[in-house]
Chain A
Amino acid sequence: MRPYAPLASTAVALAATSACAHDTVLPDTTQEAVCDDGIVESGEACDTKSPGCYACGVVPGWTCANDVCSPVCGDGVVGTGASCASPHRASGCDMTGFWAVRETDYERDMVLQSVQTSSNWYLYELAQSGDGFDVVASMDCGVHVSGSATVDYSPGSLRGMLHANPEDGSGPHGVRHGSSTAVGGGCNVSLERWYFLRALDPSFLPADFSDDPPLSSMPPLPSVGDPVNGPDDPPGATDPDGDGFKGLGFQVTGFISGLRDEAQRIWKQYADVPGAPSPASAMTFAVPGAIDVQLSVLHVSQCGTACDLLKAGATVATDIQPRITFSFIGLALDGARTSSIVVNRPGANPDDDLTTCANVRLMLPHDPSLPPGYVASSPNGP
């Protein structure tokens, strides 16, 4: 022991008992932010009941100053005053311009037979001449299903499906047409039947859609014997999400979870019911329609002990009418309003396309509610 150690120890002990400093951390002044409590807290851009504020974030095409949200005018949108009150389209029934589109349909899972609400988003650029319009550009902006399970495109699927099933004439089936006709103070809007493939090669559709063939008239979808253990390589199936398994990957979460790769064939068509037109010049309106779906589960993974449940698919709930909801973005990409939502010409850059699609989903968020009057517990509806 060093000779001065006792002296040092004594002196240090004495010193340590006096004039000691302490570090202090004062209590935090706010609790964790809670969305929908009406208070704009840290991390929130807004917290008010307004279509311009969703999940405490500002919806594209809106501004929220001091938690008061108002739409952005211009670029084909007109309103009153600086706050753009009562916004509407300047073009009446003319559908020309960019649109955020959400298709809502309903399914029943094959395990519990409970109703699930499905949203499928698109970006459309439309060009109208006379009473008819054509799809000039389109993008598949994703899927979200709520109910007994939550289902989304996997990230790979979202990227892989962006420009699948083209409706703008760049594919083998020409241009998808629609119409918007002024009638009785409103607009009769329709969008012709169109066929979609997910993870299937084009041979699973007829070359000509014009006679509206039923899905049952087409070649059967590829199938596999054991989606859990594979490995099957069904002919005709593709792997658009690049996950190494044939089929389009859907991420399932909820009481079961995992990744389900499916092949799907779908048609959809929409038209206003005679006598019940859509409001003219409306920024957002919905048109009823019809849908049919065929699917084949090709592979399930990341599902632990629930793989047998996961491989069970869903069927269309034919007793609940689907609808398509249009929300006007703006007339042209050089407009400030439009370019803040459609950040680049569709197809020019995949990352920009994903950003545009995220904006589309925010403009028309998923609405899990069932149509008024529908009793959810009834397998066959009201």
Chain B
Amino acid sequence: MRPLSIAFTLSLAAAALLPRAAQASPLIELAGPVGGNAGVQGVVSGPGAASTYFNPALLADADDGVLLGFSLVSEQMGITLQGRNGGDVPAVVSGRNILVPAPSGLQPLPNDVVPTQWLQQGCPAGTQANQCPAPGFGARPRQGQGTSGVTRSYLVLGLVKTLVRDRFTLGLYGMLPVSSFTQAQAFYPDEREALFSNSLHPELYGDRLTAVSIAFGAAFQILPELSVGAAVSLALSSAATSQDYIQDATNYSTLLTNNKVSTTVDVAPTIGVRWRPTSWLRIGGTIHAPESFDVNTTIDSTLPTGTESGATQKNVFDWMPWQVALGAEADVVRRGRERLSVVGSINYGFWSQYLDRHGDSPSMYGADLAWHDTLSGAVGLRETYRSGRAFLDFRYVPSPVPEQVGRSNYVDNDRFGVALGGDVGLHLPANIRPGFQVFADRLIPRSNQKNDARVLDELPDGAVFGGTHDPVSGAKGLQTNNPGWPGFSSGGWIWGGTVTISVPL
């Protein structure tokens, strides 16, 4: 076997053994194509190993080689919560003896409603009034567990190899987190999150930027001016079942449990086309299938009383929509060994089908709160002179998230960004092409003002004490622990950079 074949095979094997492969899109989409002078418009620009994901048809034009890179992506989204103007859930709800109006009559107040005071200050352990059973209820003040302001580093790997000259080319492209290998962090986008972090989190960043991201692809050149390509990224689906026997509901150290975990693999395809109608014009297009990392958790519990209860909870991570991208690159200057081209591209994302980390559609909060499809775009320049190349791109990525006037707190912003970079071919004892590229996206500040009538009143006006039906003092109006109430704003930057080195094969 030739060394290259061994390397390629090993690369495939290594990728297959990664603990969690293949939610390629969120990270790769944000960072943009690395190497190949593609800027942020890999649908038509490049070509290079990154074309495997952004437009596999371009692989037909790529030079054989190995790409190594080291990337940083810094997520600097600041979230500002407005001060609360009342609306506290009174401490009396901790007595768990409150009835609230329901269509079928008075019903017990749901147990997920807790006093606001508990969230802000905690509830100390004890047996007296205003105390909780040991070990107590820990304080979780608003936005005390925010998750933005994180810089992550990645190793970039790429490989292009032509198997049949001018006909068939293979590609591999991936980004591997260097630290905090992978995370999948669920959170509720509404008042339920008060029971956990009591904080708002960026919806489209955070744990979505921690997935090991790998794509494999191939291009087939039909005609010299026309090629097509296809790529796949692996999509995992995990199922975990926990069978529990709860000996003591107040002491889970005595829990008896059997866990079963299974994982199935699916693939999310990308298909692309490259057309070069003239020597100075290149056109590319891709369709990306949706992908996600699904986790279904089933809990079957048995109590000493003989009561058995079970439920399955679904989590969806790293969800990416159907995407259709189209781009064109035209040479405007061709003079000797210099070439200057302009490039533009658009990307239509079907974000209206979004599923959040709990597998819920944002439309559950109201039709007007459903996410929008988005049309993003980029324009830029490419300059090639002798063995050096450079690019400059500007992009605008609108947010699919409408203003959060109701229960939901999906945090996201429109982005306007710039990216620039370049590389140069050096003829040292070995041919290498070092390069760098940076990008900075401004998260355009936005604010969200809640409509009180659309926020869940956790202690309805008709709340009464169960024993006496006396009205609960402080129930009038809106009481909520929704961490996003009465409003919030967000803004900041996402920036990053990559140093690369390409080695021809």
Shortest A126–chain B CB gap in Å is 23
User: With A and B bound together, what is the CA distance between A12 and B497 in angstroms?
Assistant: 12
User: With A and B bound together, what is the CA distance between A156 and B469 in angstroms?
Assistant: 12
Q: A-B pairs with CB below 8 Å: how many? A: 134
Known: A15-B151, A19-B76. A154 touches B476 (CB 8 A): no
Q: Which of B80, B90, B151, B476 contacts A23 (CB 8 A)?
A: B80
Known: A42-B85, A55-B473. A21 touches B77 (CB 8 A): yes
Point out the residues of chain B lying under 8 angstroms from A378, CB to CB. Answer: none
**Interface set, chain B 318-358, CB cutoff 8 A to A:** none
Point out the residues of chain B lying under 8 angstroms from A30, CB to CB. Answer: 84-86
Shortest A188–chain B CB gap in Å is 35
User: With A and B bound together, what is the CA distance between A185 and B505 in angstroms?
Assistant: 115
Point out the residues of chain A lying under 8 angstroms from B359, CB to CB. Answer: none
Question: Are B469 and A45 touching (Cβ within 8 A)?
Answer: no
Shortest A151–chain B CB gap in Å is 14
**Interface set, chain B 176-227, CB cutoff 8 A to A:** 178-179, 199
Interface size class of A (residues with CB under 8 A): 35 or more
Stretch at the interface among A199-207, A215-223, A285-293, A355-363: A355-363
Interface of B is mostly: loop
Known: A8-B179, A155-B468, A351-B106. A57 touches B85 (CB 8 A): no
Q: Contact flags (1/0) for B432-452 with A, using CB distance below 8 Å? A: 000000000000000000000
Point out the residues of chain B lying under 8 angstroms from A29, CB to CB. Answer: 83-85
Interface size class of B (residues with CB under 8 A): 35 or more
Shortest A39–chain B CB gap in Å is 11
User: With A and B bound together, what is the CA distance between A45 and B82 in angstroms?
Assistant: 24
Q: Contact flags (1/0) for B93-127 with A, using CB distance below 8 Å? A: 00000000000011000000000000000000000
User: With A and B bound together, what is the CA distance between A27 and B464 in angstroms?
Assistant: 31
Question: Are B88 and A19 touching (Cβ within 8 A)?
Answer: no
**Interface set, chain A 110-166, CB cutoff 8 A to B:** 142, 153-156, 158-159
Q: Contact flags (1/0) for A334-363 with B, using CB distance below 8 Å? A: 000000000000000001001101100110
User: With A and B bound together, what is the CA distance between A43 and B115 in angstroms?
Assistant: 14
In the complex, which residue of chain A has the Cβ closest to the Cβ of B464? A358
Point out the residues of chain B lying under 8 angstroms from A8, CB to CB. Answer: 70, 153, 178-179
Q: A259 within 8 Å of B by Cβ?
A: no
Point out the residues of chain B lying under 8 angstroms from A361, CB to CB. Answer: 470
Q: B133 within 8 Å of A by Cβ?
A: no
Q: B79 within 8 Å of A by Cβ?
A: yes
**Interface set, chain A 7-65, CB cutoff 8 A to B:** 7-8, 11-12, 15-16, 19-30, 32-33, 35, 41-45, 55-57
Question: Are A21 and B468 touching (Cβ within 8 A)?
Answer: no
Chain A residues close to B by CB (< 8 Å): 2, 4-5, 7-8, 11-12, 15-16, 19-30, 32-33, 35, 41-45, 55-57, 142, 153-156, 158-159, 351, 354-355, 357-358, 361-362
Can you list 23 A-B pairs with a CB-CB distance of less than 8 A? A8-B179, A12-B152, A15-B72, A15-B151, A19-B74, A19-B493, A22-B78, A23-B149, A24-B143, A25-B81, A25-B142, A42-B86, A42-B474, A44-B476, A45-B461, A45-B476, A158-B467, A351-B469, A354-B468, A357-B468, A357-B469, A361-B470, A362-B471
